């Protein structure tokens, strides 16, 4: 299996660290609202990676985080539940949106039962241990409003900017305390935030080993903050100081990935928008000081999803969620098909006409899948060989850097083989066709195509009997009756084929 590695800017042969199990971390959602369709496209691509690793014979151990404490979750939980205590409001609010996210993931066909989900709020101790270690290693410092990662200290022994070029030459001692930000110039970022009134907060006792780190950072900054002086004084007298507050955004992924997967692990996935600052900062936190020099062996990023050729933005009025897609009359799996029609390293363009084309493609495959209820074990053995060859080519496309557009072309070719020989279909080949699509593309053909009812089958027999007697008025009446139930009929030379509208 070959994958494009953002670390090396090249397509490489993938070999898991322990040869058998592929350990994969996926940056998960901030659970404060519906994930927009751009986020969902990233999760579809990471799901295809998951499935293709299994196709390649690997066991997959996969973890994903829920960011359930940050600026946005705190803000919106207070607005939603103003009468609840901050922690209770946060928990009630984020648990609701976790359920919504899981439902959205299921609806788009993702393997959520094979993912270990971790909440940030349930991994505070792991984050605090990592932050304390970074302080001990003089890779972080205490400031007025919390604990910050020290990029200048990190650069003495490591490269900051492993995933993309970062301007560190013009770096100042400026600090960034926003949980999410988009800047081209590196700045020290918050590992831990001092608590504010009305916010959820956790106790955090910092050991006196931070004194040297804090004072060294003060010399670089040319000043000493009031909190720094308090920390130094309190530490000398009491050995510890309690910096009650909450984690910054980046630290959770570093803590939870190593907890679940070890370090280094095999593959880190996410959208291209996470390369900087999020993933760059994850690497720095995870490799600073005496930690391993590598966080993950592969970083795999997918490109943006565009809407009518533009990036999604509320100001552009093109910001959509899965419920918006459904309101337009599309199934979530139509959206999945649209995403798979683009290579993960190319931008996906969503328009309602493009989505309609994806819907038609999925409908065609679904109609083919329904034929399994109308075939038997007989059929053309030569057809089975042709289908299996096309599925092998689809497999080769997937293991070649997840080339889903190429894989879909071979599936289309297989569908055409069935469509042109409706009277001589190999049941075995058809079952392989459906299983491949469901197992490795996640399009749920088997579930979406149950058999028709016995009553409907009897109506078809009734119509055939009328046709045999040339009672075409009765035949047409039965056809219309089935059509009202969503069942369409088409007559071949030897049989009548049904399909759902």
pLDDT tens by residue, 101-145: 999 999 999 999 999 999 999 999 999 999 999 999 999 999 989
Can you tell me the mean pLDDT for 215-224?
A: 42
Handedness of CA 239, 243, 249, 252 (dihedral sign): positive
pLDDT at position 221 is 42
Angular region, 430: left φ>0, alpha ψ -120 to 50, beta rest: alpha
In percent, the amount of the chain with pLDDT more than 70 equals 90
Separation between Cα atoms, residue 470 and residue 472, nearest integer Å: 5
pLDDT at position 171 is 55
Report whether pLDDT(222) > 50. no
pLDDT at position 380 is 66
| pLDDT band of 433, cuts 50, 70, 90 | very high
pLDDT at position 231 is 46
Report whether pLDDT(400) > 90. yes
Q: What is the DSSP letter of 348?
A: E
pLDDT tens by residue, 281-311: 999 999 999 999 999 999 999 999 999 999 8
Can you tell me the mean pLDDT for 382-398?
A: 95
Report whether pLDDT(224) > 90. no
Greater confidence (212 vs 34) lies with 34
pLDDT at position 183 is 61
Which helix (H) or strand (E) is 488 found in, with range?
Answer: strand 487-491
pLDDT at position 258 is 96
| pLDDT band of 229, cuts 50, 70, 90 | very low
Read off the tokens for 101.
């996210």
The position carrying tokens 């009756």 is: 481
Read off the tokens for 325.
């897609």
pTM of the predicted protein model: 0.92
Can you tell me the mean pLDDT for 57-65?
A: 98
Separation between Cα atoms, residue 132 and residue 134, nearest integer Å: 5
pLDDT at position 223 is 38
Read off the tokens for 168.
């560190």
Report whether pLDDT(413) > 60. yes
pLDDT at position 179 is 67
Q: How many CB atoms lie within 10 A of CB 370?
A: 19
Report whether pLDDT(379) > 70. no
pLDDT tens by residue, 247-259: 998 999 999 999 9
pLDDT at position 177 is 72
| pLDDT band of 173, cuts 50, 70, 90 | low
Mean pLDDT of the chain: 91
pLDDT at position 213 is 45
pLDDT at position 421 is 86
pLDDT at position 165 is 80
Report whether pLDDT(220) > 80. no
Q: How far is CA 241 from CA 237, 373, 390, in A?
A: 10, 70, 65
pLDDT at position 242 is 86
Q: Contact 411/434 with Cβ under 8 angstroms?
A: no
Separation between Cα atoms, residue 246 and residue 121, nearest integer Å: 9
In percent, the amount of the chain with pLDDT more than 90 equals 81
């Amino acid at each position: 299996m070959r994958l494009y590695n953002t670390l090396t800017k090249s397509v490489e042969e993938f070999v898991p660290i322990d040869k058998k199990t592929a350990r994969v971390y996926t940056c998960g959602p901030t659970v404060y609202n519906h994930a927009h369709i751009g986020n969902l496209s990233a999760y579809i691509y990471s799901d295809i990676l998951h499935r293709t690793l299994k196709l390649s014979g690997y066991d997959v151990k996969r973890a994903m985080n829920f960011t359930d404490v940050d600026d946005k979750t705190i803000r919106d939980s207070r607005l939603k539940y103003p009468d609840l205590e901050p922690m209770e409001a946060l928990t009630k609010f984020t648990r609701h949106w976790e359920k919504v996210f899981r439902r959205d993931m299921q609806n788009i066909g993702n393997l959520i039962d094979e993912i270990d989900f971790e909440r940030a709020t349930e991994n505070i101790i792991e984050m605090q241990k990592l932050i304390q270690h970074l302080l001990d290693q003089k890779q972080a410092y205490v400031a007025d409003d919390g604990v910050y990662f020290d990029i200048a200290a990190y650069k003495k022994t490591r490269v900051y900017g492993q995933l993309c070029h970062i301007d560190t030459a013009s770096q100042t001692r400026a600090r960034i305390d926003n949980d999410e930000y988009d800047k081209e110039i590196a700045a020290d970022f918050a590992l831990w935030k001092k608590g504010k009134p009305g916010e959820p907060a956790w106790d955090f006792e910092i050991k006196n080993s931070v004194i040297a780190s804090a004072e060294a950072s003060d010399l670089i900054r040319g000043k000493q903050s009031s909190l720094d002086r308090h920390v130094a004084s309190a530490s000398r007298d009491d050995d510890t100081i309690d910096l009650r507050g909450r984690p910054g955004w980046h630290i959770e992924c570093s803590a939870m990935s190593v907890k679940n997967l070890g370090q280094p692990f095999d593959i880190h996935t996410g959208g291209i928008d996470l390369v900087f600052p999020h993933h760059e900062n994850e690497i720095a936190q995870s490799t600073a000081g005496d930690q391993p020099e590598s966080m993950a062996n592969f970083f795999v990023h997918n490109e943006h999803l565009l809407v009518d050729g533009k990036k999604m933005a509320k100001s552009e009025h093109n910001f959509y969620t899965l419920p918006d897609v459904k309101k337009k009359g599309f199934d979530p799996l139509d959206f999945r098909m649209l995403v798979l029609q683009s290579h993960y390293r190319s931008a996906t363009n969503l328009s309602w006409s493009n989505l309609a084309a994806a819907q038609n493609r999925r409908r065609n495959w679904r109609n083919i899948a329904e034929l399994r209820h109308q075939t038997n074990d007989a059929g053309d053995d030569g057809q089975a060989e042709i289908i299996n060859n096309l599925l092998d080519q689809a497999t080769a496309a997937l293991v070649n850097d997840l080339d889903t557009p190429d894989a879909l072309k071979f599936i289309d070719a297989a569908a055409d083989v069935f469509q042109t020989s409706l009277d001589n279909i190999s049941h075995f080949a058809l079952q392989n066709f459906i299983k491949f699509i469901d197992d490795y593309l996640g399009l749920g053909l088997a579930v979406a195509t149950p058999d028709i009812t016995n009553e409907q089958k009897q109506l078809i027999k009734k119509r055939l009997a009328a046709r045999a007697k040339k009672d075409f008025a009765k035949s047409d009446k039965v056809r219309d009756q089935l059509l009202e139930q969503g069942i369409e009929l088409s007559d071949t030379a030897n049989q009548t084929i049904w399909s759902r509208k």
